[in-house]
């Protein structure tokens, strides 16, 4: 009986294991709630700004402001797929979706990129059309005020989304924030276009519209790169190095290797192997693995789960092991 018990303990200590706790689940849930609040308020701000700008577009006929308005509506609408992803991410893991539905955020990021691309196409089309068929722009001072209001609303939303997105580890929310920030600067371009028309250069309005299209394309590139990296399980190399050093610093760890990390929604998960003395008891090896997992949770930002595999050092491996840092 004792032999069988020792064998079960040995298998437990020398195979991967993880210690997920309720407080980590609560932390992830609170992150989703924070993201939802951010999306709700930013949606209200951007949608209200876009409605005001639309009224000015109908009054003035400014194509530059039209491009900015289209983009603001698109930016407000990107909150919908990201919000749906946050709701799905709250669902508990099942036998089919054993990691939960956190990866829905990555799909939401793809939709955000597609919406940005569509807004660039519409804005560019309207600007080219106005260059080919010029039309007068009226109420220039109202157009300028609408552009300034667009900048203020977008910059407020951008700071909010980027700050919260980075804090909770949401690539989709950060991409959405970058989108809003570009909208802010394109709104300032609307003011420039109105000034050009007022100075007797009517083509300034559609030219600014084309400039807005180019700016949208730049943010499209940045957002697409961010989302693509997340889809391909890319993480910050510094986070991997940080995890290696943190694990190697645990007393009793001779080496830390094979560190793998990936994002599940806005939470990180890690897997790694640590080498320990082969003379350790099963209980001692288990305590070291648990301490490694505990240390990683408290030193690697956004890490919510770690699977630690303990391996006994043997021969040359023990001689070349990375010493633990005390």
pTM of the model: 0.67
pLDDT at 162 over 70: yes
Tokens of residue 115, six digits: 């919406």
Q: What is the mean pLDDT of the chain?
A: 77
pLDDT in tens, 174-197: 777 777 777 777 777 777 777 777
pLDDT in tens, 227-283: 888 888 888 898 899 899 999 999 999 999 889 999 887 788 999 999 999 888 888
Q: Where in the chain is the domain with CATH 3.30.70.1350?
A: 235-319
CATH 1.20.1740.10 corresponds to the domain 22-231: no
Tokens of residue 49, six digits: 């700004």
Q: Which CATH architecture best describes the domain 235-319?
A: 2-Layer Sandwich (3.30)
Strand ordering across the sheet containing 303-312: 255-264, 267-276, 303-312
Q: Where in the chain is the domain with CATH 1.20.1510.10?
A: 22-231
The residues, ordered by sequence, that sit 6+ positions from 102 with a Cβ below 8 Å of its Cβ are 89, 263, 264, 265, 266, 267
Distance from C-alpha of 221 to C-alpha of 112, rounded to nearest angstrom: 12
Q: Which carries the bigger pLDDT value, residue 316 or residue 192? A: 192
pLDDT in tens, 12-64: 433 444 443 333 334 444 566 777 777 788 788 878 888 888 888 887 777 76
Distance from C-alpha of 35 to C-alpha of 63, rounded to nearest angstrom: 34
């Amino acid at each position: 009986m004792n032999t069988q018990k020792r064998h079960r303990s040995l298998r437990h200590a020398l195979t991967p294991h993880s210690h997920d706790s309720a407080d980590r689940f609560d932390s992830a849930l609170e992150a989703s709630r924070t993201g939802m609040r951010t999306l709700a308020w930013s949606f209200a701000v951007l949608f209200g700004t876009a409605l005001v700008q639309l009224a000015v577009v109908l009054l003035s006929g400014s194509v530059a402001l039209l491009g900015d308005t289209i983009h603001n509506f698109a930016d407000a609408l990107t909150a919908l797929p990201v919000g749906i992803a946050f709701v799905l991410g709250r669902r508990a893991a099942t036998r089919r979706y054993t990691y939960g539905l956190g990866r829905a955020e990555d799909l939401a990021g793809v939709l955000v990129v597609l919406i940005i691309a569509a807004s660039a196409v519409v804005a560019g089309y309207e600007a080219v059309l106005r260059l080919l068929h010029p039309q007068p722009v009226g109420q220039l001072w109202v157009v300028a005020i609408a552009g300034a209001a667009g900048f203020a609303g977008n910059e407020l939303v951008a700071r909010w989304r980027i700050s919260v997105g980075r804090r909770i580890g949401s690539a989709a929310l950060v991409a959405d924030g970058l989108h809003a920030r570009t909208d802010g600067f394109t709104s300032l371009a609307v003011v420039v276009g109105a000034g050009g028309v007022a100075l007797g250069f009517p083509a300034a309005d559609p030219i600014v519209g084309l400039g807005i299209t180019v700016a949208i394309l730049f943010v499209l590139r940045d957002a697409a790169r961010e989302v693509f990296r997340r889809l391909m399980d890319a993480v910050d190399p510094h986070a991997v190095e940080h995890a290696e050093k943190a694990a190697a610093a645990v007393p009793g760890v001779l080496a830390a290797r094979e560190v793998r990390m990936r994002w599940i929604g806005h939470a990180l998960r890690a897997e790694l192997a640590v080498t320990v003395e082969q003379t350790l008891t099963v209980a001692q090896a288990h305590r070291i693995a648990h301490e490694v997992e505990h240390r990683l949770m408290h030193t690697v930002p956004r890490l919510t789960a770690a699977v630690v595999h303990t391996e006994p050092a043997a021969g040359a491996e023990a001689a070349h092991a990375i010493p633990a840092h005390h």
